[in-house]
Amino acid sequence: MTARVSLEDLTHIVAERGRADPAQSYTAKLLAKGMDEVAKKLGEEGVELALAAVAGPRERVIAETADLLYHLAVLLAAREVSLAEVEAELAKRTGRSGLAEKASRTKE
Ligand SMILES: N=c1c2ncn([C@@H]3O[C@H](COP(=O)(O)OP(=O)(O)OP(=O)(O)O)[C@@H](O)[C@H]3O)c2ncn1[C@@H]1O[C@H](COP(=O)(O)O)[C@@H](O)[C@H]1O
């Protein structure tokens, strides 16, 4: 079976590596540069994914999405926002359309 890393796993990895030595960890190095750099990287990765979606091969879309999700996890760590908080916001929106229960039933 193909190995997979969930968004939740990724946020844990980022939180742990963010405490590492910046010389040993890209995550720690990026966080040490501060919020401006973290936000800039997220913006760049978003543009790269948008360009790949319009004109790139499918594999590039997958690779750029992985880059974007990683940099999103770093930004959330930098702002001390948990994935659970984002999920709760998504649940509010899903609840509004009455689809929350349906989605969790599909997972069972
Ligand atoms: N998923 C990622 C991931 N995706 C992208 N990147 C890094 O993001 C950087 C961004 O790519 P760019 O093309 O902009 O590269 P760059 O020009 O070298 O980067 P900058 O100097 O501009 O910051 C690359 O250097 C990649 O290595 C990642 N770095 C880390 N992870 C995950 O984080 C974990 C911990 O990594 P470390 O913090 O390095 O231990 C890894 O095991 C992975 O699971």
**DSSP string over 53-98:** HHHS-HHHHHHHHHHHHHHHHHHHHHTT--HHHHHHHHHHHHHHTT
As a whole number, the mean pLDDT across the chain is 93
More confident residue, 102 or 55: 55
Question: Who wins on pLDDT, 16 or 107?
Answer: 16
Q: How far, in Å, is the centroid of ligand 1 from the Cα of 27?
A: 7
Q: To 10 degrees, what angle do helices 35-55 and 58-78 make?
A: 160
Residue 37 Cα: closest atom of ligand 1: 23
Ligand 1 atom with least separation from CA of 5: 44
26 lines ligand 1 (CB under 6 A): yes
Nearest atom within ligand 1 for CA of residue 27: 38
Domain architecture of the chain: domains with CATH: 7-82 (1.10.287.1080)
| Cα 41 to averaged position of ligand 1 atoms, centre (Å) | 10
Global confidence as pTM: 0.89
> What does the pLDDT look like over 16-62, one tens digit per residue?
999 999 999 999 999 999 999 999 999 999 999 999 999 999 999 99
Looking at the predicted structure, is the pLDDT value of residue 69 above 90?
Answer: yes
